[in-house]
Amino acid sequence: MTLEDDLECFVIPRTLGENEEGKEIQGYISRFGPYVRIGKKFFSLPKDLGTLDVELDQVLELYRERREKYVGVRDFRTAWNNLRC
């Protein structure tokens, strides 16, 4: 590896690839910790994973778990807002 190759590893935002829908996945670091952007959606990474050492397959698995965990939240909010009107 050359110095340029080494420095390329520390470029933020780090492009990890694309998901099944073709949305770009990028890793970032903020003052609150590492996070990932998939398309226009953002989510935090666990404390043991960093933006520089996370891999695409790990991010996709975490994203699937998050979507399954919170799938009912959006439906509940929609139903609640419809009841209030």
pLDDT, tens digit, for every residue of 17-51?
A: 998 889 999 999 888 889 999 988 898 898 888 88
Which pLDDT does position 41 carry in this prediction? 87
Tell me which residue range forms the domain holding 9.
3-84
The answer to whether the beta carbons of residues 64 and 20 sit under 8 Å apart is: no
Q: Letter for the amino acid at 6?
A: D
Alpha carbon distance 73, 79 (integer Å): 10
Alpha carbon distance 49, 52 (integer Å): 8
Which pLDDT does position 85 carry in this prediction? 47
Residue 38 β-bridge partners: 25, 41
The answer to whether the beta carbons of residues 59 and 68 sit under 8 Å apart is: no
Domain count, the chain: 1
